[in-house]
Structure 1
Amino acid sequence: MSTLRFGVFEVMGPQVGGTYSWAHPLSAGERYADPDHWIRFARATEEAGFDFLFFAGGYGYPIIDGDLSEIAALRGINFGGMDPDYLIPLLAHATTHLGFVVTMPTGIDHPVQLARRFTTLDHLTGGRVGWNIVTGASQNAVADVFGHAEMVSHDTRYAMAAEFVELAVRMWETSWNDDALVMDRATGVFALPDRIHPLDFAGEHYASRGYFSAPPSPQRTPVLFQAGTSPTGRAFAAGNSECVFVQATTPERTAAAVADIRRRAEEAGRDGAALRLMAGMTVFVAETSERARELAAEFDALQTDEIVASLYAGNTGIDLLALDPDRTLHQVLDQGGPVGQMGTSNIERFLGDDAPTVREILDQLRGLGTRGFRVVGDGAEVADQIEALAAATGLDGFLIEPAFDAYDIEAFGRLVTPVLRARGRIAHGTPGETLRARMSGVPGAARLGGSHPVLSAVSA
């Protein structure tokens, strides 16, 4: 059986997943600004056998009726976060082989700013960094905060993202020859000018002329992650990403999304099997099944319809509590609502001939938020469920979304990791290994493969 990949999904905020749990006695979410909290978290993640620690991020927040959702501020639901990228050097210094994935949007900074930031992070982590490429979240709030006249349309955001990624990859991969940096103290030579190349890029959305001044890092290009699962998002992921987060709904729908992304990658001239496809998962695990079910029930008791509606509105622009609970989301379409510009995949999943009512959507999303699959049990039961989901969906791994902060990660490492490792499903991390080598399974791999569309276009 193949090795599975595992990451931990986090935010530098009170809690993750658009659900409420930071006030639970087992959580330490109130310490989200404390560096010692994150050092403990990163070490627990590494010791538990995870491949990487993933930080979501963004400037948006849930909006209802044109203003900040009251419950978002009251309970800290996708509100109150800070920039996690500043934590990465600290956490890398406290660990030896754990990877770090940082979310940075494509529609706010210029590609040269992002490119230099990731080159710096890759140097400081010894090649253990990845970039989660997003076109934004809660785009209506982001548009307001940044003073934009209107929200950029969904497909335009992806067109901008494709150009953004192309320019950033060109900076990382083509600006410096491998032997350009000399750093010879005897001769005083820093670099060879004829081996550093200028860029002249003029796109529809971005342009750059001149030199990328940051010397190449161990990976040059960070490992490219992406999470969009709308049709446009899947096409973008298939053409650009190395690791893709697939929305976890039902095993059958997830399997269809996995197959579709791999097919699209093949059509783009890439090896679809080489992409690492992962989905979110919340794990309630304890020494006994009974205690694990109690933990899940304690978490569920904290959730409300108002929390569900706040998160859904922030993701899609649709306030579920303002709709007729006995009708489906088609009522939004009938009213000419904002369908199609925000949270496309989280809207389309509730449309169609078998569309649930709004009341059923609230019940389905209660305690789920942006979370994926849920598994509950003792260590062996959780391991069994993880393996069954991987087999049913074709996924390469899972992104664990803690309910109770570091407590969950430590419990996973104590109870689940030994079982999966004994079955050959978790690999041992190696100090000095790049994140690309770890995710690809190719020893010594550091550079972005030449089959990537950007590099193929450059070499053509």
Structure 2
Amino acid sequence: MKTIHLGVFEVAGPQVGGTLSWPHPRSSSARFHELDHWVHVAKVLDAGGFDFLFFADGYGYPSVAGDLPETAARGGINFPSLDPAVLIPALARETERLGFVVTSSTGLDHPVQTARRFASLDHFTGGRVGWNIVTGASQNTVAELFGHRTMQAHDARYDQADEYLDLALALWQDSWEDDAVRADASAGVYADRDKLHRVEFEGEHFRSSGYFTVDPSPQRVPVLFQAGTSGRGREYAARNAECVFVQGTTVAQTAANVADIRARAAAWGRDPDSIRILVGLTVTVRPTRAEAEQLRAEFEALQTDETVATLYAGNTGIDLLALDPTRDLTQLLDGADAGPVGQMGQSNIDRFLPKDGSKAPTVRQILDDLKGKGTRGFQVWGSPADVADDLERLMDEVDLDGFLIEPIFDPADLEDVATLLVPELRRRGRMPAAPIAAPTLRERLIGSEDYFTRRAQAAESVPQGS
């Protein structure tokens, strides 16, 4: 019986998941500008035995017909947002065990900048940081913001991301020997020069020559997360990731994606069970099922077609409200120029284009399916026993290692999970009886296996079917 790992999916913005919830009296997420709001969230999670707080991040925003829609500004739909990485040292100081994972794209900063930032965060958190590696989000608006004339193609971004990580790993692992730091005040010697090594990297996309300026942090390398379930995204995860965040659609489709990631990892010479795979989960848990259903109904009453369409356009470049509601997404192929379609938000396009011979949903059905769901994963509600039953079933049927809780009413939903659901999961033996006191996030999530030595060995072989 697998232990359930729990993280929490957040953004430094008005609400999570591209759905509408901040105006509800149960929510205080409009206080996302305030440090005290995040300190409270972090303390709840730390005391509740959660493994980590995960921040999604990016520079983009929803765009319809090339501009920010009124719906996004009025509803706070994936707009505005702050930089969550600057929160992490303060939150680490206020907590004892909780890990912190933050998203950073491989499409903007140079790998040297990213390596330096995460090594610094690993020092400041005492080894409790992870990097969620993405190739970008809302790439059309990001390209415009950064003055890029074109948006890089989907699969090419992953090719670049492989090399990006290879260089970052070289900086973290190869520049300083383990005992290079002496910090000997009496001798006046901070570092042993003979144990510092120049990194020389010459790739197709990136070059670097010199010394990494950050001495080894507690983990040396942040825990490597990856989110993305396109075919190329799964291949990237199989090669590189220690933890994978998959999108929860149907149980069958999600299970197939999980099985594919583990099989691809085995082809890279990795132990497929060593990868921790988690899925997004929206939980409404109250003492009784009736109370949970009432809260869920209040949330659903806030959602509209316009909210759904704004979110989907920001993620995929597709304006659902501009399409024929009686036809499926293949109508996009009618035009000579599909624009950004297929080059961004690929997972949220593929999920509505079945490849098993089943009938694709119409645009109207997509709107209905996404209403109240947005980019959220699985949705469960009920009493603590009801929700625990659902989590155990998903763990076993999908072959998961845990969940990223995506709150609706923040932070009240997280308080309910910590005080109502976690004790039930502990009673069932699905979570440790007390919070794990592992010194680093990697040890807490994965254990002490030498993943990076094995990764270097596996990289020397070519995966089957690649």
Any idea what SS the aligned residue of 1:54 has?
A: strand
Q: Does 1:424 align with 2:429?
A: yes
In the other structure, the counterpart of 1:361 is: 366
Alignment counterpart, residue 351 of structure 1, candidates 346, 350, 353 = 353
Once residues 449 and 116 of structure 2 are traced to their aligned partners in structure 1, the CA distance between those partners, rounded to angstroms, is 18
**Offset at 1:452?**
1.6
Q: Does the C-alpha gap of structure 1 residues 264 and 453 become closer, same or farther in structure 2, counting only changes over 3 Å?
A: farther
> Structure 1 residues 304 and 453 mapped into 2: Cα distance closer, same or farther (>3 Å)?
farther
Of 438, 445, 455, 1:439 maps to 445
CA distance in 1, matches of 2:21, 2:173: 42
* 1:244 counterpart = 2:273: no
How far does residue 297 in structure 1 lie from its aligned partner after superposition?
0.6
Q: Which amino acid aligns with 2:389?
A: D
Question: Residue in 2 aligned with 1:106?
Answer: 106
In structure 1, C-alpha distance between the alignment counterparts of 2:124 and 2:330, rounded to whole Å: 49
- Residue 157 of structure 1 aligns with an amino acid whose one-letter code is R
Q: Distance in 1 between matches of 2:227 and 2:196?
A: 34
Deviation of residue 87 (structure 1)? 0.5
Looking at structure 2, the residues matched to 425 and 125 of structure 1 have their Cα atoms a distance apart, in angstroms, of 27
- Separation in 2 of the partners of 1:431 and 1:396? 19
Is the 2:283–2:380 contact (alpha carbons within 8 Å) kept by the matching residues of 1?
yes
Rounded Cα–Cα distance in structure 2 between residues aligned with 1:447 and 1:35: 36
Rounded to whole Å, the distance in 1 between the matches of 2:334 and 2:233 is 25
Tell me the TM-score normalized by structure 1: 0.97
* Counterpart Cα distance in 1 of 2:257 and 2:386: 26
Whole-Å separation in 2 of the counterparts to 1:198 and 1:51: 36
Report the secondary structure of 1:342's partner residue.
coil
SS, match of residue 7 in structure 1: strand
| 1:55 is the counterpart of 2:58 | no
Counterpart residue identity of residue 66, structure 1: G
CA distance in 1, matches of 2:312, 2:48: 32
The code of the aligned residue for 1:377 comes to G
Give CA-to-partner distance per residue, 1:121-178, whole Å, 9 cap, x none.
0001010000000001000000000000011111111111111111001111111100
Other structure's SS at 2:253 match: helix
Deviations 1:103-135 (A, max 9, x none): 011111011111011011000101000000000
Post-superposition CA distance 1:74-114 (Å, at most 9, x none): 11100110000010000000000000000011111011111
Give how far 1:446 is off: 8.3
Q: Deviations over 1:158-210 (max 9, x none)?
A: 11111111100111111110011110111111111111110110111111000
* Aligned-pair identity (%): 58
What whole-Å deviation, never above 9, does each CA across 1:250-291 have from its counterpart, x for those lacking one? 111110000000000000111111000010000011111001
What's the secondary structure of 1:282's corresponding residue? Answer: strand
Distance 1:202 1:85, change over 3 A: same
Distance 2:182 2:289 in 1: 59
RMSD value over aligned CA atoms?
A: 1.4
Residues 308-323 of structure 1 correspond to what in structure 2 (within 5 A)? 308-323=308-323
Query: SS where residue 112 of structure 2 aligns?
Result: helix
Task: Write the distance in 1 (CA, Å) between the matches of 2:68 and 2:31.
Answer: 24
Equivalent position of 1:452 in the other structure: 455
Q: How far apart in 1 are the matches of 2:255 and 2:175?
A: 39
Provide the residue aligned with 1:122 in structure 2: 122
Does structure 1 conserve the Cα–Cα contact (< 8 Å) formed by 2:135 and 2:161?
Answer: yes
Letter in 1 for 2:395: A
1:334-345 to 2 correspondences below 5 Å: 334-335=334-335, 336-337=337-338, 338-345=340-347
My pick for the range that moved more, 154-163 or 423-432, is 423-432
Within 5 Å, give how 1:199-348 maps onto structure 2: 199-335=199-335, 336-337=337-338, 338-348=340-350
Higher alpha-carbon deviation: 196-205 or 327-336: 327-336
**What is the identity, as a one-letter code, of the residue corresponding to 1:433?**
P
Structure 2: distance between partners of 1:262 and 1:420: 26
Q: How many residues align?
A: 455
Match of 2:376 in 1: 371
Show structure 2 runs of 5+ residues with no match. Answer: 462-466
Q: Please report how far the alpha carbon of residue 351 of structure 1 lies from its aligned counterpart in structure 2 after TM superposition.
A: 1.2
Q: Secondary structure at the match of 2:454?
A: coil
Cα distance in structure 1, aligned partners of 2:55 and 2:212: 26
Contact 2:132 2:224 in 1 (8 A): yes
Following superposition, the deviation at residue 61 of structure 1 comes to 0.5
The 8 Å contact of residues 48 and 409 in structure 1, kept in 2 or not, is answered as: no
Would you say 1:144 and 2:105 are equivalent positions? no
SS at match of 1:450: helix
Distance 1:448 1:364 in 2: 39
Secondary structure in structure 2 of the residue aligned to 1:66: coil
Q: Secondary structure at the match of 1:127?
A: coil
Corresponding residue number in structure 1 for 2:399: 394
**Letter matched to residue 273 of structure 1:** D
Give the Å deviation of 1:21. 0.5
> 1:188 & 1:36 partners in 2: Cα distance?
41
Q: Residue 334 of structure 1: CA displacement?
A: 2.4
Shift of 1:429: 3.0
Secondary structure of 1:410's partner? helix
Is the 8 Å Cα contact of residues 107 and 136 (structure 2) preserved in structure 1?
yes
SS of the residue aligned with 1:225? strand
Q: Which amino acid is the alignment partner of residue 449 of structure 1? A: F
Calculate the TM-score normalised by the size of structure 2: 0.96
Distance 1:289 1:455 in 2: 49
Contact 1:227 1:245 in 2 (8 A): yes
1:18-167 → structure 2 map (5 Å cutoff):
18-167=18-167
Verify the 8 A CA contact 2:266 2:272 in the aligned structure 1.
yes
Contact 1:4/1:425 (<8 A) preserved = yes
Between the aligned partners of 1:317 and 1:243, the Cα distance in structure 2 is 28
Tell me how far 1:457 sits from its aligned partner. Answer: 5.0
| Paired residue type of 1:219 | Q
- Which segments of 5 or more consecutive residues in structure 1 lack a partner in the other structure? none
